[in-house]
Structure 1
Amino acid sequence: MADWIRSDGKGVILLLHIQPGAKKTEVVGRHGEALKIRLAAPPVDGKANEALIAYLAAKLGVGRTAVGLVSGQTARAKRVRIDGVGAEEVLAALEK
Structure 2
Amino acid sequence: MTKGTGTPTVIQVKVKPNARVSQIEEAADGVWLAQLKSQPIDGKANEELIGLIAKRFGCPRSAVSIKSGASGRIKRVRIQTA
**Range class of TM-score, shorter chain:** 0.7 to 0.9
Percent of aligned positions that are identical: 34
Does 1:64 pair with 2:53? no
* 1:49 aligns to 2:46 (yes or no): yes
Q: Tell me if structure 2 keeps the 8 A contact 1:68–1:82.
A: yes
The structure with more helix, counted as a fraction of residues:
1
**Higher RCO, 1 vs 2 (CA within 8 Å, ≥6 residues apart):** 2
Give the letter aligned to residue 66 of structure 1: A
CA RMSD of aligned residues (A): 1.8
Matched letter for residue 80 of structure 1:
V
Give the Cα–Cα distance (whole angstroms) in 2 for the partners of residues 34 and 11 of structure 1. 17
**Inter-partner Cα distance in structure 2 for 1:76 and 1:16:** 8
SS at match of 1:79: strand
TM-score (norm 1): 0.71
List structure 1 runs of 4+ shifted beyond 4 angstroms.
Answer: none
